Structure formats: structure tokens, C-alpha cells
Structure 1
């Protein structure tokens, strides 16, 4: 069963998820924003190919390269 989160009031991010990001950010020496961006990037890299095929993943990677968010190893 898929779990869905419904915001209450002005909440945008589930407080528990935000706490998890804060813990990761401290452990990794990065900001919460960097951890959130990393988490979303990983999620998109996993989900786009499933929803849009490999072309969707190639589009995402191309845009991330253009923005300097990722570089080739």
C-alpha cells in the first residue's frame, strides 16, 4: 500500500522527513538543501526511466549537467 502524505496548514515537507534530512546533512557536512536536492535527484533518476523510459533519464542528466549539478567522473 502506497503511503501518501497530506500537508497540514503551511507545511510543505513532512517534519519527520525534514528531521531525517537534518541528520544526514550534519553527518555528511552538507546543508539540508543539499541533502534535499540529492534525495530528489536520486528519486528522479530512479523514477523517470520507469515513467518516461530511458529518454526521460537522458533528459534529466543533460539538464543537470547544464546546470552544473553533476559532472562526469
Structure 2
């Protein structure tokens, strides 16, 4: 094999590896974005769970009061 042919093969391999690296970098960027969105969604769910727990507690207090709980007059 001539040196020119070896160089051509090496260039082809280099270009293939560069494309592969670019694809991996894009995948990493996508993965980073997805992780960020997942963290935001988890935080939203946690806030909603806390809000729901407060609403349930208030509802339970209202039900106890309606059933004739301790009266203050």
C-alpha cells in the first residue's frame, strides 16, 4: 500500500471518528437537557404533592368540624 493510500485511509477513519464524536456530543447535550427537564418536573410534582397534602389536611379539619368536633363559643 502506498503512503498516499494509507493517508487517505487514515483521513477516512479520522473523519468517521469526528462524526462519531459529534454524534456523542449531541447525545450528551440531549441527555443533559432531559436530566434538567426531569429535575424540574420532579420539583413541580413535589410542590404539587405538598399543596395537595395541605388541601387534604384542611379538608379533614373541615370534616371534623362539620361532624361536631370541639366547639368554642
TM-score, normalized by the shorter chain, greater than 0.5: no
Greater fraction of residues in helix: 2
Q: Which of these two proteins has the greater Rg computed from alpha carbons?
A: 2
